[in-house]
Structure 1
Amino acid sequence: MDLTEFERLFDKKKYKRHPWEISRKKVLFKLLSDSEIKFPIKRIVDIGGGDAYVINEIFKHNLASEYVTIDTAYTPEIISQLKTNYGENTIHYVQNLADYFKFFPTEENVLFLCMDVLEHLENEDEILQYLTLKNNYFLFAVPAFQSVFSNHDVLLGHYRRYNLKQLEMILTKNQFQILNKGYYFSSLLLVRWFESIFNKNKKASIDNWKATTLKSKLFVGILLLDFAFTQVLQKIGIKIYGLSCYCICKK
């Protein structure tokens, strides 16, 4: 979850989805379709679900029998607004992992998504300590490279950025078996590097995107081509760095 997502929640008609959000969603679907996970799965749980965009998009594709999104910002008022924004459906909104495990059976065949969440925590164990279930799948994604950490990260509430080796070490220490890993959005890494040097006071975020629909589609297309190219290179053993890194895991 990025904190700025909730600034637009009660004014849904006036905001546009940032190309990064749309592209990340499409990257997620591609990573899942290429994984060993057999869909539909029993349950999909989106940790740090923010304004619930991702879980509602997943819901449309019938990838699971049950859907849960978890975020500490989910007050009754926000949950009510989310249901108004997306329409009534069977998605469950839960405020934290402790409540999730209280209300839902600890069944096998569950996919936990933890995308752009760990960087918001002082200690990753705040979440990882709960994810001890066997025979379940996990997808972790985090922003990459501390060298491009900037005021933009501070604005979003980030404590740090990672490289893929650091993410792997954290996950293997917590007994996750890594099935697939890599970077994505290589083109954005160079952009962010320049911004970290020349635009240290950047305040633009996903909640204030104002470009035209055509420009947004163009950016989405570029990012998806970027991702496809990176995936091809990774399959033949060529590592390309990117602005984000991910690990698909099992326990």
Structure 2
Amino acid sequence: MDLLEVKHRNTVAESRHPWELARLVVVSKLIKKHALIKKGGTVLDIGCGDVFVIASLAKQYPETDFLAVDTAFDASLIASYSNALEVDNLKLYASLDEALEGDIAKIDLVLLLDVVEHIEDDRAFLKVIANNDQIIRDTNILITVPAFQKLFCSHDVFLKHYRRYDNKQLRGLVNKVGLAEVVSGYFFFSLLPLRIVKVIKERVFKAKNENTSDLVQWNGNTFISKLLKNLLVVDYKITSSFKGIGINIYGLSNYMICKKQ
């Protein structure tokens, strides 16, 4: 969860939002298929939010070092999240420079999970990452972003997004900073109609913009959360199966794994 959403939550939900749970499954599957994490390697998560994803991955790969960075961290947040961790192979930092200090020869995997859309100068941001000496030609960079600028709405405004991307735009962006696509695609096609309806309500019927997000408002119980999460996982599996035969199905989010050219 974005730290902005954490700040706006007034209650503790019984279970995580199904989108968060399902996205974790998608990220895990993409890593296992395209960017295998090695024992003794290092994974860097930039813009880690409330560390839900990176802590889950650290638990899955106990023999790998995980570094989590978020510029919204302060000393008290780092202490709070660190104390709550159930793993000892994950360290939290408020800056990239601090995270990469010390004896780190190379980064095996960089995670940019719904981060790039928050950066005003996305090209300069990715160029800094691409030019880092510890990110080598074998380093995989996994990017997820919200899809399609035409679906930009109050949800994006609340989360301080600058833009949304389709795969072509994301490909053009990474190519400009010296990165080359390994694989890309979309996920969560079943959420597209819901977002289209929301955009129509806001633009055509002038519905009042909401100063919140679905993750902030979520108060579903464990059963409902698990059910919806499983439906979204099935959604991803369907999209992935069609992609395997050359049919690209659009979704509300997209991903790209890339490397240095």
Q: Aligned ranges for residues 94-113 of structure 1 at < 5 Å?
A: 94-101=93-100, 103-113=101-111
- The answer on whether the counterparts of 1:97 and 1:127 sit within 8 Å (CA) in structure 2 is no
Name the CA distance, whole Å, in 2 between partners of 1:123 and 1:144. Answer: 18
Which position in structure 2 is the counterpart of 1:248? 257
Residues 132-189 of structure 1 deviation map (CA, whole Å, 9 limit, x = unaligned): 2323111011000011110011111111101100000111111112111100011111
C-alpha spacing 1:64/1:35, structure 2 compared with 1 (3 Å):
farther
Instruction: Name structure 1 gaps, 5 residues minimum.
Output: none
Partner of residue 225, structure 2: 216
> How far is the alpha carbon of 1:38 from its aligned partner?
5.1
Asked if the contact 1:15/1:207 (under 8 Å) is kept, the reply is no
Matches within 5 A, 1:1-251: 2-7=2-7, 14=13, 16-37=15-36, 39-40=38-39, 42-62=41-61, 65-87=64-86, 89-101=88-100, 103-124=101-122, 125-132=124-131, 133-134=135-136, 135-198=138-201, 200=207, 201-202=209-210, 203-251=212-260
Q: CA deviation at 1:70?
A: 0.4
Describe the superposition over 1:56-104 as per-residue Cα deviations: whole angstroms up to 9, x where unpaired: 1001111652110000011110011112333462311111223233x14
In structure 2, relative to structure 1, the CA distance for the partners of 1:205 and 1:150 (3 Å cut) is same
Mapped partners of 1:63, 1:136: distance in 2 = 20
Q: SS of 1:153's equivalent?
A: helix
CA distance in 2, matches of 1:36, 1:68: 17
**Greater CA drift, 33-42 or 143-152:** 33-42
Given residue 112 of structure 1, which amino acid in structure 2 is its aligned partner?
V
The aligned amino acid for 1:153 is D
Once structures 1 and 2 are overlaid, which stretch shifts more, 91-100 or 218-227?
Answer: 91-100
- Determine the C-alpha separation between the residues in 2 that align with 1:111 and 1:63: 15
Find the residue that maps to 2:34 and give its secondary structure.
coil
Report sequence identity in percent.
33
| Alpha-carbon distance in 2 for matches of 1:107, 1:178 | 24
Aligned-residue offset at 1:194: 0.7
What is the distance in 2 between the residues matched to 1:205 and 1:104?
39
CA distance in 2, matches of 1:231, 1:192: 21
Normalization by structure 1: what TM-score?
Answer: 0.91
**Residues paired across the two proteins, number:** 249
Q: Distance in 1 between matches of 2:40 and 2:181?
A: 19
CA contact (8 A) 1:44 1:67 kept: yes
Which secondary structure state, in structure 1, belongs to the residue aligned with residue 232 of structure 2? helix
The answer to whether the Cα contact below 8 Å between 1:3 and 1:156 also exists between their aligned partners in 2 is no
**Partner amino acid, structure 2, of 1:86:** L
- In 2, distance between residues paired with 1:96 and 1:154? 25
Say what the alpha-carbon RMSD is for the aligned residues. Answer: 2.2
